[in-house]
Structure 1
Amino acid sequence: MMRITIRPFQEVRLLARPSRILRPFSSAARTLGTAETDTSVSSSSTASSSSRIGRISESLIRPSPTPHVSATEDKTTVSWPDGRTTTFDNYFLFDHCRCPKCFHSKTKQRLKELNQIPDDIRPVAVEVDNSGVHLSWSTSEEHKSTFPFEFLRRSAYDPPLSSYRDATEGRVLWNSKIAQSPPSVVYEDIIRSDDEALKSERAILKLLNRVHDFGFCFVNNVPATPEKTQELIEKIAPIRHTHYGGFWEFTADQSHGDLAYSNEGLPCHTDTTYFTDPAGLQIFHLLSHPSPPGTGGTTLLVDGFYTASLLSTLYPTSYSLLSRLRIPAHASGTEGTMLRPPLSQPAFRHDEKGQLTQVRWNNEDRGVLGQGWSAEEVKGWYQAARRYDELNKSEDAEYWVQLGPGTMLVIDNWRVMHGRSAFTGARQMCGAYVGADDWSSRRTALTKKHEIRKKSILDDDWSVGW
């Protein structure tokens, strides 16, 4: 079982590239009970690699660009000046050739089919210079590929060069002390005149970077009207339409069969677990809640990645079960709507590198468990879920904030859970969903355009497809 290391959270500094994550408080470990002594993980579990939550990449090593490269009939080996060696299957390298015959530089798409690659493809000549590795191939027609060193470092798989696995770079795990300095931007920086479009884009990128880093961000000074709120959201990314509509306004009128449309308190949860592809961003703006006479309605935020990191450290077997066992979810309270994804998913989902990518946690929308599970897995899942629920409801994890008109809240729904306390009085909210792919694409495109974060040393053709 891989273990994460997390530094204690003392304060948040809103840096362009935050570089720290949190270590579970020792007091929290004592309060929450004794950690499991059995750290075994089922061979079918993903948690042996998936418990690498929020891992910050090692300092990038920049060796001189003169590795030694050799090739055989099956593989090509790169020996780096720092002493490391990586091996590539020849088929893999030829498949990733980005010469004009193989890759369209305008559309950034492959032009070569897999069945066009000979089974016995191999380099017949190898050259190395400052621009990279040049391979001439054993094809009937002359074919030469050039691979930049940075591509070979980043794509290495046998073994992987972990120094270049930086997908979670900048992520900051947080707890209740985020209240000391929560991430925020201001409305006026985003909504600008047409002749200040570049400044507006930089402000949007600043917002999305903070959502990426912290899982949420406030936008202050937003005019308290539905029209201006919708304009702001559409400036950030396309609104996702669902059975709730696109941009929505709601009060506690039960117009939809969902507890959000009531005045009851809601425990922390992620939204739309009943979608095959849950919403990426959840965006709220409290337009009005006169107080008095209204009371309550305080917003709750919990960093699901932070509490998952605690679970991984304290109860690794429980983390494994929540990473492996698939939980059905449904939305059946609105007439004419019966949502139940054909593919159920576990509470914790991980990317191809084993890093935690998504938390799907909604007790209210959870369906009937146990299909295809063993009796031991049913019992184990309930124990794991209770432990995770306890961590989420701890004083250490809960960040409570009273929203008011003029403050829009943007939440990464794949990471940060939200809830609220019960309320009285007339409370009017508006907001929208944004797809995960849409806001990620917007952030990546703006980063590339404005080069605010680490500039890639790969050229345009080689910087895509990761």
Structure 2
Amino acid sequence: MRYLSTTVEVEAVPRRVQPDLPQLSVDERAVNVVWPSGTTSKFYHIWLRDHCRCPSCFHEQTKQRLVDTFAIPNQIAPQKVEALPEGLVIEWPGESPHTTHFPWDWLRRNAYIGPSNRDGSQLTFRSSGVGAASQSYSKVLWGSSIESAPPQVEFEGVMHSDEALLQWLNKIDQYGFCFVTGVPANPTETEALVRRIAFIRETHYGSFWDFTSDLAHGDTAYTDIALGGHTDTTYFTDPAGLQLFHLLAHTAGGDHTLQGRDLGGQSLLVDGFFAAKLMHDVYPEHYQMLRSTPISTHSAGDSDTLVKPLMRGYPILQHDPVNDDLVMIRYNNSDRSTLRLPEDQVEPFYEALRCWHNILTDKQSEYWFRLRPGTAMIFDNHRVLHGRASFIGSRRLCGAYVPHDDYRSRLSVLRINYESPEGTRSVWEDGV
């Protein structure tokens, strides 16, 4: 069977009838879509054929590809393309002609990016949404002023209502953190709260932790010293996604006259995306250094543990290699391994690192607050840095990691159920 064509018929509804309809042109390699804004997206024929979502090419239930990518001829070309209000329609040649349909909004969202769109002049963050009818959830960047109105939800709501659970996850997605009030101050209810999102990730610290400053593990988290802003598990190939803390008790120990602020231990959050944007806009050379320089990290405090990532290191500011979005802050200066860099990069790296530290520790970046029993705090470890002041007495916390992919999965499914008109999963969702 040959899927070759030397002539292509192009049809489009006249622009005077459908003024917002994209315009098409076709060459021997691609379909060019000119959007009403005037921008053009190129879609190669082989890509279009490979992404057909008809029942014979894409399994409706499993959402897995059925088309044999490697049976598609290299020089395949459509015999007809048509611009209709509902989307692009393509007829492919062959003994049994095949028709493919692409909704316009899906094509626009999945248009691959040309080099001209990756000049680094703007810093972008991945927005989230599912399907054409979904709302747009752009990131809300924040500094110390978030203290006046931090995002929060009620425990009873998120435990008994999926709509309230969606509101909770939306806040985490937008702000990178959220408080949950009214949580019973015990490990059982706290663990149940975490499991409302997804399963708990097992690490060398265990699954669900109930810990204090007893050095049960060889990590400064298990001490009473101050910790600067950092992200956790930078030494994992896939760092922990969401992290939850719930302070169960903070007592003065032998000195019962101390209470409240006198005990210390105030908690710190810093929006890493906010800090990154400031650095990108004001100190672009330093930003470029931290996004391009891989840093080795490790965890070696326990006698039976030596964790190092699969690669020799990852940059502090990690970007998506395709669309250039900033997707992860991977920073813990305490866990940084021996620095190995080319000779001419050593001093520039330390200059960039010092600049990053100054931005993180500026009063306009730091949000300080006190954790109290009954209020849990969850944050996106890929975005938000956390820390604490030193403390005295005994502090008992519980915590857990939730894998980032599973949190995103839960959020996407809830958005489909409550925000799409049909409330059903479509084969045209983002990333599917």
TM-score normalised by length of structure 2: 0.86
Q: Is the 8 A contact 1:219 1:408 kept in 2?
A: yes
CA RMSD of aligned residues (A): 2.3
Opposite residue 364 of structure 1, the aligned amino acid is S
**1:233 paired to 2:233:** no
Indicate which of 167, 182, 203 corresponds to 1:221.
182
Q: CA deviation at 1:214?
A: 0.9
Q: Is the 8 A contact 1:150 1:458 kept in 2?
A: no
**1:209 paired to 2:170:** yes
1:155 is matched with 110
**1:104 paired to 2:59:** yes
- Stretch moving more, 338-347 or 70-79: 70-79
2:319 is matched with 350
Opposite residue 167 of structure 1, the aligned amino acid is S
Distance in 2 (CA, whole Å) between partners of 1:158 and 1:442 is 28
SS at match of 1:367: coil
**1:90 paired to 2:45:** yes
SS at match of 2:55: coil
**Correspondences of 1:266-277 after superposition (within 5 Å):** 266-277=227-238
Change (3 A) 1:95 1:160: farther
1:263 is matched with 224
Q: CA deviation at 1:273?
A: 0.4
Q: CA deviation at 1:296?
A: 0.6
1:386 is matched with 354
Distance in 1 (CA, whole Å) between partners of 2:390 and 2:423 is 51
Q: Is the 8 A contact 2:127 2:139 kept in 1?
A: no
Q: CA deviation at 1:158?
A: 6.5
Distance in 1 (CA, whole Å) between partners of 2:184 and 2:381 is 24
Distance in 1 (CA, whole Å) between partners of 2:105 and 2:115 is 13
- Stretch moving more, 140-149 or 323-332: 140-149
Opposite residue 294 of structure 2, the aligned amino acid is R
Deviations 1:343-369 (CA, angstroms, capped at 9, x unpaired): 121001112311111001101111111
**Correspondences of 1:263-302 after superposition (within 5 Å):** 263-290=224-251, 292-293=257-258, 295-302=263-270
Change (3 A) 1:257 1:286: same
**1:432 paired to 2:400:** yes
Indicate which of 422, 427, 430 corresponds to 1:461.
427
Q: Is the 8 A contact 1:148 1:458 kept in 2?
A: no
Deviations 1:182-228 (CA, angstroms, capped at 9, x unpaired): 11001111223xxxxxxx11111111111111111000111001111
Q: Is the 8 A contact 1:456 1:463 kept in 2?
A: no
Unaligned runs of 5+ in 2: 1-17, 118-124, 129-136
Deviations 1:50-93 (CA, angstroms, capped at 9, x unpaired): xxxxxxxxxxxxx8553332323211122334433332211111
Deviations 1:77-125 (CA, angstroms, capped at 9, x unpaired): 2233443333221111111111122111111111123211101100112
Distance in 2 (CA, whole Å) between partners of 1:122 and 1:308 is 44
2:377 is matched with 409
**1:364 paired to 2:325:** no
Distance in 2 (CA, whole Å) between partners of 1:107 and 1:65 is 34
1:175 is matched with 143
- Stretch moving more, 71-80 or 327-336: 71-80
Q: CA deviation at 1:159?
A: 5.8
Indicate which of 71, 74, 82 corresponds to 2:29.
74
Change (3 A) 1:78 1:324: same
Q: CA deviation at 1:129?
A: 2.5
Opposite residue 181 of structure 1, the aligned amino acid is A
Distance in 1 (CA, whole Å) between partners of 2:329 and 2:51 is 33
SS at match of 1:358: strand
Distance in 2 (CA, whole Å) between partners of 1:81 and 1:396 is 41
**Correspondences of 1:312-327 after superposition (within 5 Å):** 312-327=280-295
2:343 is matched with 375
Q: Is the 8 A contact 1:298 1:400 kept in 2?
A: yes
**Correspondences of 1:127-138 after superposition (within 5 Å):** 127-138=82-93
Deviations 1:300-333 (CA, angstroms, capped at 9, x unpaired): 1111111111111221011001001111110000
Unaligned runs of 5+ in 1: 1-62, 193-199
2:203 is matched with 242
1:59 is matched with none
Change (3 A) 1:135 1:457: farther
Distance in 1 (CA, whole Å) between partners of 2:250 and 2:239 is 29
Q: CA deviation at 1:267?
A: 0.7
Change (3 A) 1:186 1:79: same
Change (3 A) 1:336 1:457: closer
- Stretch moving more, 96-105 or 263-272: 96-105
**1:184 paired to 2:152:** yes
Distance in 1 (CA, whole Å) between partners of 2:242 and 2:264 is 24
Opposite residue 422 of structure 1, the aligned amino acid is S
SS at match of 1:127: strand
Equivalenced residues, count: 392
Q: CA deviation at 1:252?
A: 0.6
Change (3 A) 1:252 1:160: same
TM-score normalised by length of structure 1: 0.80
Distance in 1 (CA, whole Å) between partners of 2:348 and 2:368 is 31
SS at match of 1:395: coil
Indicate which of 272, 276, 279 corresponds to 1:311.
279
